[in-house]
Amino acid sequence: MDTVDAINRLRITEIFFSLQGESSFVGFPTVFVRLTGCPLRCSYCDTEYAFHGGQWMNQKTILDEVEKYHPRYVTVTGGEPLAQKNCGTLLSALCDAGYHVSLETSGAVDISTVDQRVARIMDLKTPGSAECDRNLMTNIEKLSTRDQVKFVIGDRSDYDWSVAQVNEHQLLSRCEVLFSPVYNQMEAAQLAEWILADQLPVRFQLQLHKIIWGNEPGR
């Protein structure tokens, strides 16, 4: 391995081709690059298999693997991808290659160094996640209209907290806001009714990939 490869390598859990299941890009065929490792332990986490293991890959190998699918959209996810210091370099390289690039991040790590061409899809962890205290609230002021904030909601308390954050931080004037029910915990119809009752102009979303494939890894 040469010096450049060593500097640019990342630990990768998987690279796969699927339909985007969330965000404003939902439904588009997308290559997902899932990085290994996460400093959080959310109560509803569905990717615990990405906490450990993985395979070291250099940036060129990752780009070559992505190109095999000839995608238009690429999503870098985790775990928490920004926990690996070379994630930013990979994001920029994917943008340079001409892809529409999005990043799925927990919001617990500073997003300011992420390439401005990347759509940052940032969670704000609700109380029910058991990781609410990990939210790095200074990230909010760094959001742009290119970005999206996601709230994963497990009950009425989570919903009320999320609405309070939307209002307090004027999130709707900063970026698109997504409300999603915790899979197999929060009734989707109930969350939809709360949003309609409050006439809340957020994007309600279900996880399309789980509707199609359930919790199958690599989907």
CA 114 to each of CA 3, 189, 200: distance values in angstroms, whole numbers, following the listed order = 23, 35, 29
Q: Taking residues 163-171, what's their average pLDDT?
A: 98
Q: Residue 186 and residue 36: Cα distance in Å, rounded? A: 28
- Across all residues in the chain, what is the average pLDDT? 95
User: What is the C-alpha to C-alpha distance for residues 106 and 192, in angstroms, rounded to an integer?
Assistant: 23
Quick one: tokens of 145?
A: 């209209």
Count of the separate structural domains present in the chain: 1
Tell me the pairing of strands 203-204 and 148-153.
Answer: unpaired
Q: Is residue 49 part of a domain?
A: yes
Express each pLDDT in 36-80 by its tens digit.
Answer: 999 999 999 999 999 999 999 999 999 999 999 999 999 999 999
Please state the pTM of the whole predicted model. Answer: 0.93
Q: For residue 154, what are the domain limits?
A: 3-212
**pLDDT-derived band of residue 219, with 50, 70 and 90 as boundaries?**
confident
Instruction: Read off the pLDDT of each residue in 96-107 and give the average, rounded to a whole number.
Output: 97
CATH number for the domain harbouring residue 53: 3.20.20.70
Confidence at residue 6, expressed as pLDDT on a 0 to 100 scale: 62
| Cβ-defined contacts of 209-218 (< 8 Å, 24+) | 209/18, 209/19, 209/20, 209/21, 210/21, 210/183, 212/19, 215/46, 215/183, 217/14, 217/47, 217/49, 218/14, 218/16, 218/18
Q: In the prediction, which pLDDT does 4 show?
A: 54
- With cut-offs at 50, 70 and 90, classify the pLDDT of residue 18: very high
| pLDDT at residue 216 greater than cutoff 90 | no
Residues 171-195, mean pLDDT to the nearest whole number: 96
What average pLDDT does range 147-155 have in this prediction? 98
Q: Is residue 135 part of a domain?
A: yes
pLDDT, one tens digit per residue, over 119-149 is 999 999 999 999 999 999 999 999 999 999 9
189 assigned to some structural domain: yes
Q: How far apart are CA 177 and CA 184, in angstroms?
A: 22
Report if residue 103 sits inside a domain.
Answer: yes
Would you state the pLDDT for residue 192? 98
Q: Is residue 81 part of a domain?
A: yes
**What pLDDT does residue 8 have?**
85
Residue 136 lies in a domain: yes
User: Is the per-residue pLDDT at 30 higher than 90?
Assistant: yes
Is the residue at 218 inside a domain? no
Mean pLDDT over residues 92-97, rounded? 98
Mean pLDDT, residues 107-125 taken together: 96
Residue range 193-215: average pLDDT? 94
In a domain, 79, yes or no: yes
